[in-house]
Structure 1
Amino acid sequence: MSRPVILGILNVTPDSFSDGGRWVDPAAATAHALELVRQGADVIDIGGESTRPGAERVPAEQELARVLPIVRELAGSGIRLSIDTMNASTAGACAEAGAEFINDVSGGLADPDMYAVVAGSGVRYIAMHWREHSATMQAAPLYTEVVSEVRAELGERIAGAIAAGIEPARLIVDPGLGFSKTADHNWQLLAGLPELVGLGFPVLVGASRKGFLADFAAGGTAPAERDDATATISALSAQAGAWGVRVHNVAATRRALAVWDRWDEARA
C-alpha cells in the first residue's frame, strides 16, 4: 500500500478549536502553509469557517474573503490545495483560482448547489458524513450501529453526487469523526475503517487534535498535546487502507507514516 496523502490544516478563522486566530493574517497563513509543505504536507486544506462543536455559521462572503487571497497566493506557488467549505459559491471561486479539492464537511447537504458546482469545475470532491450544523450537532448523536449507518449515509451522498454529474473517480469520502458523534462512535468508526474502505472510494480520516483524544494528551490540556495520538491514528489509518489523513502537525504524522511505510515494506 502507498503512504496516505497528508492534508495539512490551515485555518484562517478567529475561532477554530485548535489554532483559531493564529493564521488570520494572509502573510502568516501563507508562511504557515509553506512550512507545512516543508514538513511533508502533500495538500494544504484551507478553511475559512469554523466547524468546531457549537460554532455558528458565517456569511459565505466573509468566508470567501478570508480564503480566496490565500488560495491565489499558494496556487501561484504550485502548492496543491483543498478548500474546506460547505458553500458552493466559495467552492466555485476557489476551484477557479486553482484549488484541486473541495472538502465539504456536509457532504452536499448544506448547500443544494454544491454538487452542480463541483461537477462543472473538474475538481475532486471530499464528501464527509454529516447530519446537522455545528451549533447543534453534538446535542444527542444517536446510532444503532454507527459503522453500518455511516457507511449507508455516505453511500447516499455518493449516489447524489454521481447523479448530479460528479465522476466517481473524483469522489473521496470521510467518516466525519466528531461530527454528530460521541467518542465511542469515533473509536468504532476508526476500528471499522476497512468496512468504509470497502465502499470502493478513497477514505480520508480527520482525527487531528479532536476532543476524543484528550485522554492521550502528552501533557496539559491544549489541543496540540494530542499530536502524538493523532500521529498514531494516522499510521493505523494507513494500515486500514485510508487514502489520506488531515492533520495539524504534519511533521509528527510524517514521521509516524515513515515508520509504518518501513514496516510495510519489510512485510512485502
Structure 2
Amino acid sequence: MEPCPTVPNSAPSSAQPCAPASDHATNQAAHQASGQRGAPAIWQTARHALSLQRPLLMGIVNLTPDSFSDGGRHASVSAALRHCEQLIGEGADILDIGAESSRPGSAAVPLEEELRRLQPVLAEAVRLGVPISVDTYKPEVMRAALALGADIVNDIWALRQPGALQAVAEHPRCGVCLMHMHGEPETMQREPLTGDAVATVQGFLAGRAQALRQAGVAAERIVLDPGIGFGKTVAQNFALLAQQTRLLQLGYPLLAGWSRKSSLGAVTGRDVGQRQAASVAAALLAVERGARIVRVHDVAATADALKVWQAMQAQGQDGGAEQWR
C-alpha cells in the first residue's frame, strides 16, 4: 500500500503529507472522505496527523511470552525491532506495541515488568518513521510511553483505570483508541455479555468518548473499537460486524480487531496459526462496513486484499480503475 498520508507535528517524517488535524476547516471539508457521517477524516496523534481517506493498517507487535497468537516470538529487543521493520515493509501504517497479554484467561502483569519489556523496544521503534501505538491500560505506562515518543494510547479498558483518562487528557495531541470490554481478561469469557451486544457497546463507547471530550480531548484524537472477542459470544461478535454501521452513528472513526480471534476459529474450525484467510476476510468486511483502521498480525496479506478492494472502489470514482487496464 502507499505510505500513510500524514503530516508530522514535530520531527520530519518520510510519510506523505496531508492537512494538519488542527486545521478544523480542512477536517470538516474532508469528513465525508472518511466514510463515516460526521467522523473526523484525520486521526490526530502525538507526532502525526493520519488521514483516514483510506483504511489504515495497524500491525501488531507483541512483546509478551503468553500472547494467544505469537507469544514469545518477539521477546528480545532485537527480535521485536526486526518484526517492526518487517511489518512496515509489508505495508503497516501504524505499529501497535503491547507488553501485556489481554487474551482470555490472562493474568495482569506487574507495572515494573510491563515497563521492562516495553521501554527498550519503544525507544527504538519511535525512530522508524511510522506512528507508534502502545497497548496498555496503566496510566504509568501511558505517561512513560508518551514521554518516549509514542503517538497513540490503545486501551482495552477505555481509560477506566484510575488516572488513565487524565494521562491522556493532559497530553496536548496524543491519539487514543477506546475499546469495549465486558469484564476483565482473566474472566471475561466465563460470563460473556448478555442481551443486545450492539446496543450495549454503542452506549458504552458513546459514554467513554463523551468523558474524554468533557476532559478537553479533541474529537480528532479519538478512535473507537467494539472489542471483538472481549467478553462476547461468537454470535455477538458477528452481530457487531453485521451491524457495525450502528456504531458509526457515534461520529468517530472505528478500529476493527478481528485478527486470528477465536470467533474465526469457531466458524472455520482452524487453529490460531491457520486463520490468516479468515482474518483477512473479516478485515475486509469491517472496512466495507466503515472501519477506518484494521489491527492485524498478517499485514502483507491484508494489504494485498485492501489493494483489490480499493481498485474495485475506484471503479465508481470517475473511472479511477482505468489504470489497471
Match of 1:241 in 2: 290
Deviates more, 1:249-258 or 1:232-241: 232-241
Per-residue CA deviations over 1:38-58 (Å, capped at 9, x if unaligned) read 000001100000000000001
Matched, 1:192 2:243: yes
Match of 2:191 in 1: 140
Q: In structure 1, what is the Cα distance between the partners aligned to 2:84 and 2:267?
A: 27
Q: Given that residues 62 and 97 in structure 2 are in contact (C-alpha distance below 8 angstroms), is that contact kept between their aligned partners in structure 1?
A: yes
Q: In structure 1, what is the Cα distance between the partners aligned to 2:267 and 2:183?
A: 28
Match of 1:115 in 2: 165
- For residues 156-235 of structure 1, the aligned pairs below 5 Å read 156-215=207-266, 217=268, 221=271, 223-235=272-284
Q: In structure 1, what is the Cα distance between the partners aligned to 2:267 and 2:307?
A: 21
Q: In structure 1, what is the Cα distance between the partners aligned to 2:128 and 2:90?
A: 16
Match of 2:89 in 1: 38
User: Among residues 227, 250, 256, which one is paired with 2:299 in the alignment?
Assistant: 250
Q: Given that residues 124 and 170 in structure 1 are in contact (C-alpha distance below 8 angstroms), is that contact kept between their aligned partners in structure 2?
A: yes
TM-score, structure 1 normalization: 0.95
Residue 267 (structure 1) shift: 2.2
Match of 1:80 in 2: 131
Q: Given that residues 3 and 238 in structure 1 are in contact (C-alpha distance below 8 angstroms), is that contact kept between their aligned partners in structure 2?
A: no
Matching residue's letter, 2:188? M
- Secondary structure of residue in 2 paired with 1:16: coil
Q: In structure 2, what is the Cα distance between the partners aligned to 1:52 and 1:75?
A: 26
Q: Report runs of 4+ in structure 1 exceeding 6 Å deviation.
A: none
Q: Given that residues 126 and 174 in structure 1 are in contact (C-alpha distance below 8 angstroms), is that contact kept between their aligned partners in structure 2?
A: yes
Q: Given that residues 8 and 43 in structure 1 are in contact (C-alpha distance below 8 angstroms), is that contact kept between their aligned partners in structure 2?
A: yes
Match of 1:71 in 2: 122
Structure 2: runs of 5+ lacking an equivalent: 1-34, 36-52, 318-325
Aligned residues: 265
Deviates more, 1:62-71 or 1:38-47: 62-71
Matching residue's letter, 2:195? T
Structure 1: runs of 5+ lacking an equivalent: none
CA RMSD after TM alignment: 1.3
Residue 241 (structure 1) shift: 1.1
- For residues 12-51 of structure 1, the aligned pairs below 5 Å read 12-51=63-102
Q: Closer, same or farther in 2 for the Cα pair 1:203/1:151, shift >3 Å?
A: same
User: Among residues 131, 155, 167, which one is paired with 1:104 in the alignment?
Assistant: 155
Residue 160 (structure 1) shift: 1.4
Q: In structure 1, what is the Cα distance between the partners aligned to 2:140 and 2:76?
A: 22
Per-residue CA deviations over 1:77-134 (Å, capped at 9, x if unaligned) read 323100000111111111111111100011012x221111111222001000023211
Residue 215 (structure 1) shift: 4.5
- Secondary structure of residue in 2 paired with 1:209: coil
Matching residue's letter, 1:119? A
Identity of aligned residues (%): 39
Per-residue CA deviations over 1:214-264 (Å, capped at 9, x if unaligned) read 1465x862x121111111111111111111000000011101111110111
Match of 2:311 in 1: 262
Deviates more, 1:226-235 or 1:176-185: 226-235
Which structure would you say has the larger Rg?
2
Q: Given that residues 182 and 192 in structure 2 are in contact (C-alpha distance below 8 angstroms), is that contact kept between their aligned partners in structure 1?
A: no
Residue 144 (structure 1) shift: 1.6
- Secondary structure of residue in 2 paired with 1:116: helix
- Secondary structure of residue in 1 paired with 2:315: helix
Q: In structure 2, what is the Cα distance between the partners aligned to 1:140 and 1:191?
A: 23
Q: Given that residues 197 and 241 in structure 1 are in contact (C-alpha distance below 8 angstroms), is that contact kept between their aligned partners in structure 2?
A: yes
Q: Given that residues 88 and 117 in structure 1 are in contact (C-alpha distance below 8 angstroms), is that contact kept between their aligned partners in structure 2?
A: yes
TM-score, structure 2 normalization: 0.79
